[in-house]
Amino acid sequence: MSASPVSSVPAQEGGAHTTSPGGSIVIVGSGLAGYTLLKEIRKRDAAVPVTLVTADDGTFYSKPNLSNALAAGKAPAALAGAAAEKMAAEQRATLLTHTRVTGIDTARQRLDTDRGELGYARLVLALGADPFPHGLDGDGAEAVLTVNDLADYAVFRDAIAGKQRIAVLGGGLIGCEFANDLAQAGYAVDVVHLGDWPLERLLPAEAGQRLADSLASIGVRWHFGRTGRSVARRAAGFDVALDNGETLAADVVLSAIGLRPSTALAAGAGIATGRGIQVDSLLQASVPHVYALGDCAEVDGVNLPYVQPLMVQARALAATLTGTPTRVVYPAMPVMVKTPVHPVAVLPPKPGSIGGWQVTCGEEGVCALHVDADGSLQGFALTGAETAQRTRLVGELAA
């Protein structure tokens, strides 16, 4: 291949076994999924050749930390864990940074990139997810920001420096976390959300309303049942027009309306995609020698864009790629929402579960249990002080 890697460090002796079948592994993507898989492979095999290809500079960082960095007092640079050169050396891997994959030839087992071709014996797609287009009109629409990686976050932090009013589009998990972080840092925050309460896909109304009230107590202004229509530039910022004719004044507009799995590269190569890149419980895609994990993957029909499923997938796939075929088996995995003003822990019932919410509201939190007709626990949503029950309820579900 014509591209020059940032670092090419040969596999070293020692460590785990070095008998992986199938030849070299190429991982596309340097997010948490790609790097976690690389680390898990190295725990099991010190010598199998691994190349990681990324369109960015390959800096290792934890994406979940972006939405609470203000409260943590961390500048964007402080969120970077290690440079690509260090990761390559530590993990004995070849890193190809600033290298964009433009196509996959699954028959020849080769990647096309903007720096030449690269062959693979086994290919892992760790492509993450992309922000939904905001669909806004107006001469300020192109200035609407999204935060999907560390570079985006650096742009966002520069944009809000010295400003006061932030409009957040979307009251899902990321929108709520950013709203909490911004409000506690002293910004005036408006959240525009199509649902009737935040996180309505995860929480029953009582739990969602308690979160909304808690965020309102630190200054967040909610606009429920509303969407943005256009963003117009004004002398000092923007006017955000809503679908009911209301206009919000903002210095910065952040779109947090959601992410969708990145599937275009796979689809262009004839790899089956649905909501995500479709894989089985071995994380094998519809064509031989290709796997996917993380936010881009649809595992046996389910896409779980959270950290804990990613970790489970990485451990299983590392075992498979190093000679021990291992299916993904998820434990009970609550989703933790980083809203310190009123924490949330939710473990949704499995898709297709037949049951309903039993909700108890106390002064310091909401406990909602999703149970079937026999009273068996199927999932839960806890807020505030009730999140202390999380471990016990996970144990009950596991039992």
Greatest Cα pair distance, the chain, in angstroms, is 67
Q: Kindly report, residue by residue over 123-136, the tens digit of the pLDDT.
A: 999 999 999 999 99
For residues 171 and 280, membership in a common domain is answered with no
Q: Kindly report, residue by residue over 138-170, the tens digit of the pLDDT.
A: 999 999 999 999 999 999 999 999 999 999 999
For residues 157 and 223, membership in a common domain is answered with yes
For residues 310 and 362, membership in a common domain is answered with no
Contact 310, 63 (CB under 8 A): no
| 277 found inside a domain | yes
For residues 13 and 92, membership in a common domain is answered with yes
- Residues 6 or more apart from 92 whose CB is under 8 A from it? 9, 10, 11, 12, 42, 46, 50
Domain boundary among 321, 354, 371: 321
pLDDT of the chain along its 399 residues, tens only?
544 444 443 333 333 333 345 679 999 999 999 999 999 999 999 999 999 999 999 999 999 999 999 988 999 999 999 999 999 999 999 999 999 999 999 999 999 999 999 999 999 999 999 999 999 999 999 999 999 999 999 999 999 999 999 999 999 999 999 999 999 999 999 999 999 999 999 999 999 999 999 999 999 999 999 999 999 999 889 999 999 999 999 999 999 999 999 999 999 999 999 999 999 999 999 999 999 999 999 999 999 999 999 999 999 999 999 999 999 999 999 999 999 999 999 999 988 889 999 999 999 999 999 999 999 999 999 999 999 999 999 999 887
| 72 found inside a domain | yes
Sign of CA dihedral 69, 71, 75, 79: negative
For residues 29 and 143, membership in a common domain is answered with no
| 334 found inside a domain | no
| 294 found inside a domain | yes
| 327 found inside a domain | no
For residues 125 and 265, membership in a common domain is answered with yes
| 2 found inside a domain | no
- Ramachandran quadrant class, 389 (left: phi over 0; alpha: psi -120 to 50; beta: rest): alpha
Domain boundary among 198, 223, 255: 255
Bridge-based pairing of strands 110-113 and 116-119 is antiparallel
Q: What is the CATH number of the domain that holds 376?
A: 3.30.390.120
The tokens describing 312, both together, are 């489970």
Domain boundary among 255, 282, 303: 255
For residues 295 and 368, membership in a common domain is answered with no
Contact 355, 369 (CB under 8 A): no
Query: What is the rounded distance in angstroms from the CA atom of residue 255 to the CA atom of residue 175?
Result: 8
For residues 280 and 391, membership in a common domain is answered with no
Domain holding 108, by residue range, is 7-129+259-321
For residues 33 and 47, membership in a common domain is answered with yes
| 332 found inside a domain | no
For residues 95 and 14, membership in a common domain is answered with yes
Q: What is the CATH number of the domain that holds 114?
A: 3.50.50.60
For residues 180 and 213, membership in a common domain is answered with yes
| 329 found inside a domain | no
**Cross-strand partners of 362:** 365
Q: What's the domain count of the chain?
A: 3
For residues 148 and 291, membership in a common domain is answered with no
CB atoms within 10 A of CB 289: 15
Q: What are phi and psi of 337, to 5 degrees?
A: -95, 125
